[in-house]
Amino acid sequence: MDVTADLVAPCTPDELFVWVDDLGRYPQWLDIVPRASAAEPHRDDPGPAWSVDLRGRLGPFARSKRLRMARTVHEPGRVRFERVEHDGRQHAPWVLEAEVAAAAGGSRLAMHLHYGGTLGGPVVERLLADEINRSKPRLLALVGA
């Protein structure tokens, strides 16, 4: 499953980037991430890690998932998080990439989420896309604050 989204914001790229380069800030603007807290560091982590709860609701049904995500790329305007578990088991990949660049009137955020497991499908993909669209005004309010 792959979901992409973009957003144009009336702020500098640096002002927008601080909201996407730290997973601990995502619960403030993205409802499907109700919790993201610093995870215990591990010697094999490529960067800082977070314990992230994901929650989705479709009608009366809700599903939750806890992932350990590590920042694998952190460059000016670009960040990448990948699922990094240290429990000796094989896990489906989760990859989140965000890129912020200057745009007319401010900056543009492009995000891409990849999930390589079997839980996906068109319904989950649509649910995720809808939540991303609902989150845009919240993120815009935060960068405008």
User: What's the pLDDT score for residue 68?
Assistant: 97
Host domain of residue 66: 2-144
Q: How many domains does the chain have?
A: 1
Contacts of 125 (CB under 8 A, 6+ apart): 1, 3
What CATH number corresponds to the domain at position 135? 3.30.530.20
pLDDT confidence of residue 63: 76
Q: For residues 103 and 7, is the Cβ–Cβ distance under 8 A?
A: no
Q: What is the pLDDT tens value at each position of the chain, 145 positions in all? A: 888 899 999 999 999 999 999 999 999 999 889 999 999 999 999 999 999 998 877 677 777 889 999 999 999 999 999 999 999 999 989 999 999 999 998 999 999 988 887 766 676 777 777 888 889 999 999 998 5
Instruction: Indicate the pTM of the whole model.
Output: 0.91
